[in-house]
């Protein structure tokens, strides 16, 4: 039987760290950093402020700091470049917050025109389909993410975080943990990250809905 998961980053400490860094305009606890300036489905795309960008990137950096030691210490860990199993077997189109979507949109806009057109076509093709879904940002030839540096939190924590002692990972990791154990692994706290992101980011929609609300190429 697997030992009780060791989980890092209590929510209170994470909020304190994120809310008091230099350049942040508001304290996180009890306040929303992101106040949606427009309705969720408005075509207007408001850019990130410097404070919003720093806060989100600091959050992502903390996730990377939790993930990196796990992969570095375990050569058998499957979550590495070239493994795209989760990207091809999504239970639902990715839900992302407004703050994450604005950041993700930057990565999308940096793609070549033909790549953007392909992503949009895949998004349109997902409507009305059933699980499993394949992420429209996946480069299906290389198995890599076309917007890797801008990918949302769900993609960063999957395989490395737990919720109420339940692993947030695929059957490959579950089988490997049964073989190798997890006594030396300090898991991330998925609930704490989701709660903190929700407080920072405002409303959440699927990427299909965000694309519906986003400007078209003609705009």
Residue range 59-105, pLDDT digits in tens: 999 999 999 999 999 999 988 877 888 999 999 999 999 999 999 99
Three-state DSSP class for residue 42: coil
Question: 142 versus 111: which is more confidently predicted?
Answer: 111
Cβ-Cβ contacts under 8 Å for 21 (sequence gap 6 or more): 54, 55, 58
- Check if the beta carbon of residue 10 is closer than 8 Å to that of residue 189: yes
Six-digit token pair at 50? 């410097």
Cβ-Cβ contacts under 8 Å for 154 (sequence gap 6 or more): 94, 95, 96
The reported pLDDT for the residue numbered 7 is 54
- Quick one: residue 83, left, alpha or beta (phi over 0 = left, psi -120 to 50 = alpha)? beta
Q: Is the pLDDT confidence value at 116 over 90?
A: yes
Pick from 40-49, 153-162, 166-175, 192-201: least confident: 40-49
Tell me the average pLDDT across 22-30.
38
Cβ-Cβ contacts under 8 Å for 109 (sequence gap 6 or more): 116
**At how many degrees (to 10) do helices 190-201 and 98-109 cross?**
80
- Which has the closest alpha carbon to 36: 214, 193, 204? 204
Where does 49-170 have alpha helices with state H?
Answer: 50-73, 85-88, 98-109, 113-126, 153-157
Distance CA 155, CA 94 (A): 9
Six-digit token pair at 20? 């008091």
Question: 68 versus 29: which is more confidently predicted?
Answer: 68
**pTM of the entire predicted model:** 0.77
Distance of CA 89 to the CA centre of its chain: 16
Distance CA 168, CA 18 (A): 23
- Check if the beta carbon of residue 173 is closer than 8 Å to that of residue 58: no
Task: Look up tokens 């006594």; give the residue.
Answer: 183
Mean of the per-residue pLDDT values for the chain? Answer: 81
Distance CA 60, CA 39 (A): 26
């Amino acid at each position: 039987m697997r030992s009780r998961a060791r989980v890092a980053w209590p929510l209170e400490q994470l909020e304190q760290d994120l809310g008091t860094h230099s350049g942040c305009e508001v304290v996180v606890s009890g306040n929303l950093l992101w106040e949606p300036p427009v309705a969720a489905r408005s075509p207007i795309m408001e850019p990130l402020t410097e404070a919003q960008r720093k806060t989100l990137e600091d959050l992502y950096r903390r996730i990377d700091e939790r993930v990196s030691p796990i992969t570095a210490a375990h050569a058998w860990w499957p979550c590495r470049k070239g493994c795209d199993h989760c990207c091809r077997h999504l239970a639902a189109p990715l839900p992302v917050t407004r703050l994450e979507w604005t950041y993700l949109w930057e990565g999308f806009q940096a793609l070549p025109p033909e790549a953007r057109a392909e992503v949009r076509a895949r998004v349109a093709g997902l409507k009305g389909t059933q699980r499993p879904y394949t992420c429209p940002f996946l480069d299906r030839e290389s198995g890599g993410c076309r917007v890797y540096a801008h990918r949302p939190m769900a993609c960063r924590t999957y395989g490395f975080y737990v919720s109420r002692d339940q692993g947030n990972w695929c059957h490959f990791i579950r089988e490997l943990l049964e073989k190798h154990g997890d006594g030396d692994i300090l898991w991330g706290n998925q609930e704490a990250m989701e709660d903190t992101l929700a407080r920072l980011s405002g409303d959440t929609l699927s990427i299909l809905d965000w694309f519906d609300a986003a400007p078209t190429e003609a705009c």
